[in-house]
């Protein structure tokens, strides 16, 4: 993939909100984690580097919540929840936290992403050792093992090359057992960043003695940090790209959030960029809550820049220098070449565009030119280089491409939205056209606050977005022959129309309205209309046939049903007519059937009959009864959903949920994953299943973002829909993920904006998760949930890969997980047993079945999932099987999930399931059902040799292998093992000589 930038010479206009300072965010989060008590840091930073700091601190046991736009940090001793913590790709996180890891109560390894393992930190390690930190590193690069022992202090020397090294020492010194003196050797670079560290430490009650030349620091020992509430200022470094773009184009641009025009006494380390910009002649003025730049075209003045103070500004200032009349010089640039890339060499690529730059020892000279020409460029995966060269390319003739197009997310996630909002053309090649780029919006406080979200209904969210963003897209319907869109305003209008028709049909509060529809826009309209008047939405899976539908309609006592005329070769309306003409199965309460146009012309003779039949298009034609709808406005405590379970272990059970519970559940996932108002939610899971209904439709409505729905699964159509709709989040069953990976591996383009795939229904095989992360470029997160409890456990992109890929997640905030034995005793970490959940998102119970409701709860109110699992020391759950799926081989339980995951990694295996087959002597033996990859074959002997090579205990080997074309799954993607067990009754054990 590339970032495609089309040059433009037209006037650019618009405004953008400058993000909050990542420099302050790093320091504030770390200092708050060291201060026992609660600190509130207002002004979220969604820079990925800051998220790495959050993730590392959480790995050390610090609780960090998000309350609206505020980090709530519960400081105190570091109690690591895992042996290793990662700084990701953030140098700041790495340099600050190596030493501070010594304050943890147990030893910890500090590491980072793969290429970070080549980043030398020897000078910092030597200085930390002088301070008494006990650490080990094989080659002075991460990973670094840090002992759990407070530093002793002492006399410490450090090179003045990188301020982050010095700041890392200063942050640690107050917690030493003795006084620390830090002296800087050689030239001091980046002093403003050190000044920021010291100033912020003061706010948390920590004192640092500083010499006048900022080369000697004296820090007293045994200090105690105190909690602090503070607000993060705007990030000048991010604003610089908007200022530069507004300078090299005729413009009328407003950068909201900046309230100064010069450095002055401000505490942002890059604030002096504003002074340099003014020296170069940028026409800035304070107006309308920000800085406005307005002109019809200017040439800048050259200047001299000492990079010791603001080294990170060299890339964008060198772009501005290329549009100046004369020569701009950058001195003291050596340490700029030690950043994420050699930024000096990287910016020499401007010469490929017609620029005039040359390197003269420790000086970079940039001479202004008349104009630039598009070129193929490399960003070296450096966010500053990418964004700076993209700004230059926006004023060049023709097109330019840049490698590593998503590098900007590291520090300025809304960069593309801001630039496109000004009218510049930047897009990830093959992705959504820049003209359609969404404008970044703040996330509503209620969406990320489960306590507040619990007081809302879906109708509340719809009316809000129809008022605040009426023309934005609410639903994209990706059908086989094309995609249709509907705006928030139009969706709200149609919901009101159908709500009025339901009132006219006599639908009462609390009455179920049934709909057996695929993932069409009409499903969303009907569901919302039903809940808008206080009725209960009762979705029925399109795969259900007459027997299941008749049973569910009778149990729900539904009077109104919506069905398609035809869908995927079935004539649903005719099937309903047949049910109603069968006196034995006919639901006696059903009075009205609304028929929607099918996916093909035709259908059967479904009228007249025992019910009244209505045409969907006729229902859309009437007026709206606003007063009647207003009189029926539901509250969050009212039942909103009746959802039938699959019935694989008995008759289907109707699970009841309130609107408030569903809103709370969606908010808990938003908070856990850090989802934002720039998402687009892709929904391949049936909307008639809780995954699609709650974690697709409801989640998107709560975020106020587009939902991309697809009724007929086709992986290539899915990739197209994800790309066209800018899909960034998916929650779906594992087979959907596997199909997307296969399609991309076969040559299709990966969706450019997809960043999180939550896999539900069954554990994700580790091999698939690793492939998906690499092939799709998305985080794959394991999860566990039920219809009755919503999500109970979920991993997050910031968790360790071994946890993200190898488990079913950790408890969401407010949820408790436990493992018990068959007598109800709670088992310790690492023990397998019955998995139980205690959650604020319980269902109300099963419809008309209080007996079945009581059966799924323990005496102390925990929900019995029916699954076996293991919870590790860090709180991550791993489901090892269903209680009913346990294979008891002569009294020894076979670890089914472990064997399945291992076989899944075999190069000949495309899918696998292991179930019990009856045995007279042992009771049960294991049988493996295997789907082979095209052109490959796995024999029984191959399987045994493979398990033997992987040192699996012979006792656990499957004793039969059955080849199967496709594993039977329900619509949620769960393997229907009861069907495989039925087949296994006829299977006989196999033997391999010598094994």
Residue ranges for the known binding site are 22, 27, 91, 119, 163-164, 312, 339, 343, 384
Residue 220: half-sphere exposure toward Cβ, Cα within 13 Å = 8
Three-state SS annotation for 928-954: EEEEECCCCCCCHHHHHHHHHHCCCCH
Under a CB-based contact definition with an 8 Å cutoff, are residues 586 and 578 in contact? no
Alpha helices in 634-674 (DSSP H): 659-673
Does the active-site annotation cover 565?
A: no
Q: What is the rounded distance in angstroms from the CA atom of residue 32 to the CA atom of residue 50?
A: 14
Binding residue numbers for phosphoenolpyruvate: 22, 91, 119, 164, 343, 384
Under a CB-based contact definition with an 8 Å cutoff, are residues 36 and 75 in contact? yes
Which residues, other chains included, contact 237 with Cβ-Cβ below 8 Å and sequence gap of 6+?
A: 22, 23, 270, 273, 312, 313, 411
Kindly state the DSSP code that residue 73 receives in the 8-state scheme: E
Closest residue by Cα to residue 863 from 788, 808, 974, 807: 788
Under a CB-based contact definition with an 8 Å cutoff, are residues 128 and 169 in contact? yes
The active-site residue out of 46, 235, 312, 382 is 312
Concatenated DSSP letters for 418-483? HHHHTT-EEEETTS--GGGPPPP-PPPGGGG-HHHHTT--HHHHHHHHHHH-TTSEEEEEEETTEE
Q: What is the rounded distance in angstroms from the CA atom of residue 319 to the CA atom of residue 372?
A: 11
Using DSSP bridges, classify how beta strands 612-615 and 536-539 pair: parallel, antiparallel or unpaired. Answer: unpaired
Kindly state the DSSP code that residue 354 receives in the 8-state scheme: T
Residue 683 backbone phi and psi in degrees, to 5: -130, 90
Closest residue by Cα to residue 527 from 552, 494, 551, 555: 494
**What b/e sequence results for 646-656 when a residue is b if at least 16 CB atoms lie within 10 Å of its CB, and e otherwise?**
beeeeebbbbb
Neighbours of 618 (CB within 10 A): 10
Three-state SS annotation for 862-882: CEEEEEEEEECCCCEEEEEEE
Under a CB-based contact definition with an 8 Å cutoff, are residues 977 and 913 in contact? yes
Helices 48-59/91-100 angle, 10° precision: 20
Closest residue by Cα to residue 972 from 785, 799, 825: 785
Q: What is the rounded distance in angstroms from the CA atom of residue 806 to the CA atom of residue 874?
A: 13
Binding residue numbers for 3-phosphoshikimate: 22, 27, 163-164, 312, 339
Q: What is the rounded distance in angstroms from the CA atom of residue 84 to the CA atom of residue 109?
A: 4
User: Position of tokens 């800018």?
Assistant: 726
In angstroms, the first-to-last Cα distance of the chain is: 49
Neighbours of 582 (CB within 10 A): 11
Closest residue by Cα to residue 291 from 248, 250, 263, 252: 252
Q: Alpha carbon of 634 to those of 443, 508, 846: distances in Å? A: 24, 12, 21
Q: What is the rounded distance in angstroms from the CA atom of residue 512 to the CA atom of residue 587?
A: 14
CA angle 278, 282, 284 (to 5 degrees): 85
Three-state SS annotation for 825-864: CECCCCCEEEEEEECCCCCCEECCCHHHHHHCECCCCCEE
Concatenated DSSP letters for 539-557? E--TT--HHHHHHHHHHHT
What are the residue numbers of the active site? Answer: 312
């Amino acid at each position: 993939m590339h970032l495609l930038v089309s040059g433009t010479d037209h006037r650019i206009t618009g405004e953008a909100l400058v993000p909050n300072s990542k420099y302050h965010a790093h320091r504030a989060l770390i200092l708050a984690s060291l201060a026992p008590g609660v600190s509130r840091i207002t002004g979220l930073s969604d820079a990925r580097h800051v998220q790495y700091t959050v993730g590392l601190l959480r790995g050390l046991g610090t609780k960090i919540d998000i309350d609206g736009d505020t980090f709530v940090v519960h400081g105190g001793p570091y109690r690591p929840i895992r042996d290793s913590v990662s700084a990701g790709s953030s140098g700041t996180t790495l340099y600050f936290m190596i030493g501070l890891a010594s304050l943890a109560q147990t030893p910890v390894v500090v590491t980072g992403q793969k290429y970070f393992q080549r980043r030398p930190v020897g000078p910092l390690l030597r200085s930390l050792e002088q301070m008494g930190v006990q650490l080990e590193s094989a080659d002075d690069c991460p990973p670094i093992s840090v002992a759990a022992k407070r530093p002793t202090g002492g006399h410490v020397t450090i090179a003045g090359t990188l301020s982050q090294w010095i700041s890392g020492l200063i942050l640690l010194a107050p917690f030493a057992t003795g006084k620390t003196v830090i002296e800087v050797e050689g030239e001091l670079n980046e002093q403003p960043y050190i000044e920021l560290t010291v100033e912020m430490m003061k706010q948390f009650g920590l004192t640092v003695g500083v010499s006048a030349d900022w080369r000697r620091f004296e820090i007293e020992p045994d200090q105690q940090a105190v909690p602090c509430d503070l607000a993060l200022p705007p990030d000048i470094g991010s604003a610089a790209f908007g200022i530069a773009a507004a300078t090299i184009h005729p413009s009328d641009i407003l950068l909201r959030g900046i309230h100064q025009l010069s450095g002055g006494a401000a505490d942002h380390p890059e604030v002096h960029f504003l002074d340099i910009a003014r020296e170069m002649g940028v026409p800035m003025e304070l107006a309308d809550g920000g800085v406005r730049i307005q002109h019809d075209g200017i040439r800048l003045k050259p200047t001299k820049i000492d990079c010791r103070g603001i080294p990170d500004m060299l890339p964008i200032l060198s772009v501005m220098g290329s549009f100046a009349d004369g020569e701009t010089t950058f001195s003291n640039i050596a340490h700029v070449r030690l950043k994420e890339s050699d930024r000096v060499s990287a910016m020499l690529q401007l010469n490929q565009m017609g620029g005039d730059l040359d390197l003269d020892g420790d000086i970079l000279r940039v001479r202004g030119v008349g104009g630039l020409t598009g070129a193929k460029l490399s960003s070296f995966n450096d966010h500053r280089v990418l964004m700076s060269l993209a700004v230059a390319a926006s004023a060049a003739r023709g097109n330019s491409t840049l490698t590593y197009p998503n590098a900007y997310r590291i520090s300025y996630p809304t960069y593309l939205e801001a630039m496109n909002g000004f009218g510049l053309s930047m897009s990830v090649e093959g992705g959504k056209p820049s003209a359609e780029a969404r404008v970044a919006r703040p996330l509503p406080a209620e969406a990320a606050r489960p306590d507040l979200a619990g007081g809302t209904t879906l109708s509340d969210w719809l009316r809000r977005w129809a008022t605040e963003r009426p023309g934005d897209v609410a639903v994209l319907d990706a059908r086989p022959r094309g995609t249709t869109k509907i705006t928030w305003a139009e969706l709200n209008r149609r919901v009101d129309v159908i709500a009025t028709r339901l009132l006219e049909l006599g639908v009462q509060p609390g009455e179920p309205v049934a709909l057996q529809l695929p993932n069409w826009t009409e499903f969303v309209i009907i569901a919302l209309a039903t809940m808008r008047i206080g009725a209960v939405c009762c979705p029925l899976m399109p795969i259900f046939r007459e027997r299941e539908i008749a049973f569910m309609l009778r149990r729900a006592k539904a009077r109104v049903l919506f069905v398609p005329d035809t869908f995927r070769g079935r004539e649903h309306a005719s099937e309903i007519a047949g049910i109603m003409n069968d006196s034995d199965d006919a639901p006696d309460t059903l009075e009205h059937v609304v028929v929607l146009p099918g996916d093909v012309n035709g259908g059967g003779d479904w009228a007249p009959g025992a019910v009244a039949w209505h045409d969907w298009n006729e229902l859309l034609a009437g007026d709206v009864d606003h007063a009647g709808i207003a009189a029926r406005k539901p509250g969050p405590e009212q039942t909103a959903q009746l959802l039938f379970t699959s019935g694989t272990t008995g008759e289907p059970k109707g699970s009841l949920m309130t609107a408030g519970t569903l809103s709370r559940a969606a908010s808990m996932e938003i908070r856990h994953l850090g989802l934002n108002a720039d998402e687009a939610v892709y929904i391949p899971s049936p909307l008639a299943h809780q995954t699609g209904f709650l974690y697709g439709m409801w989640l998107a409505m709560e975020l106020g973002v587009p939902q991309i729905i697809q009724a007929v699964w086709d992986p290539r159509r899915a990739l197209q829909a994800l790309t066209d709709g800018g899909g960034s989040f998916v929650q779906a069953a594992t087979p959907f993920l596997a199909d997307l990976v296969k399609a991309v591996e076969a040559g299709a383009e990966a969706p450019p904006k997809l960043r999180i795939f939550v896999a539900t229904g069954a554990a994700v095989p580790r091999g698939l998760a690793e492939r998906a992360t690499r092939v799709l470029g998305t985080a794959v997160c394991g999860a566990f949930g039920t219809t009755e409890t919503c999500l109970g456990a979920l991993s997050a992109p910031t968790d360790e890969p071994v946890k993200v890929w190898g488990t079913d997640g950790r408890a969401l905030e407010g949820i408790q997980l436990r493992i018990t034995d068959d007598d109800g005793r709670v088992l310790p970490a690492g023990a397998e047993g019955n998995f139980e959940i205690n959650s604020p998102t319980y269902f109300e119970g099963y419809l008309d079945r209080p007996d079945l409701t009581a059966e799924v709860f323990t005496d102390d109110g925990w929900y019995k999932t029916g699954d076996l699992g293991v919870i590790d020391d860090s709180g991550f759950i791993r489901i090892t099987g269903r209680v009913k799926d346990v294979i008891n081989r002569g009294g020894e339980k076979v670890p089914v999930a472990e064997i399945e995951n291992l076989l899944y990694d075999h190069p000949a295996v495309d899918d696998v399931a292991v179930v019990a087959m009856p045995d007279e002597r042992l009771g049960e033996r294991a049988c493996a059902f295997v789907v082979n990859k095209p052109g490959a074959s796995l024999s029984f002997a191959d399987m045994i040799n493979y398990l033997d090579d992987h040192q699996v205990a012979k006792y656990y080997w499957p004793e039969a292998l059955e080849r199967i074309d496709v594993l039977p799954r329900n619509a949620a993607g769960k393997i229907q093992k009861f069907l495989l067990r039925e087949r296994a009754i006829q299977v006989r054990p196999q033997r391999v000589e010598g094994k």
